[in-house]
Chain A
Amino acid sequence: MDDLYRETIIDHYKNPGYKGSLDPADLSFEDENPLCGDQLRIDLQVDENGTVTDARFDGHGCAISMASADLVVEDIIGKNIEELKKMSKDDVLELLGIEELGPVRLKCALLSLKVLKGGLYGIGHQDEEL
């Protein structure tokens, strides 16, 4: 339980390193968690090889969803779009350093992945398993 509000998560929530927007952005995705009202947008700059050269997020939500967004955006810079499509729920939880999370808070933690994947696949993401 205590690891849910570990120092890393609180630090990324209070002092996000990648909050903001990119102008111009090559790809920009936005989605929300309708159950709790969290909103998130992720902007990406991608080079001709499909490698993410820069990324930012913006939105509002709880500590878990915002820390998750900051960690995910930090993680994807330098990676290839094809690689990102394979990013899983476990990858995000590993970034957060969380092993177990209840179903409600899991939605918070995975909003960033939902936005990222929804954008990469060009659809509103419906798959619960991501």
Chain B
Amino acid sequence: MVLSAALSFTLDYAHPHDVAQLLDRENICVRAGHHCAMPLHDRFKVPATTRASLYVYNDENDVDRLIEGLNTVYKFFG
């Protein structure tokens, strides 16, 4: 089993830069763009992704806030 806490994702209704900017408003820090891995994005045929990178400093509450933040993005662009 491979465990990873770095999650790159796309949403069909919002561009990664818009997602990141709206999450930033809620004080949720994610990265948007190619993450220095442009060939991989070409491979998956996506213009860019949003990446949430969790680590030991994060807890379940942060994950809940990320999900709430993404709901806010959906209300905005969905």
**A-to-B contact residues, CB < 8 Å:** 1, 4-5, 10, 14, 34-39, 60-64, 104-105, 108
Contact = CB atoms under 8 A, between A and B. Distances in A.
Majority secondary structure, B binding face: helix
Contact of B34 (A5, A35, A62, A104): A35
B18 interface: yes
10 contacts: A4-B21, A35-B34, A36-B17, A36-B47, A36-B48, A37-B38, A37-B41, A39-B47, A63-B15, A104-B17
Interface in B12-63: 14-18, 21-22, 25, 32-34, 38, 41, 47-48
Interface of B: 14-18, 21-22, 25, 32-34, 38, 41, 47-48, 76-77
A105 B21 contact: yes
Given A36-B16, A62-B15, 5 more contacts: A37-B33, A37-B34, A60-B47, A62-B16, A105-B17
A5 B22 contact: yes
B18 A37 contact: no
A10 B48 contact: no
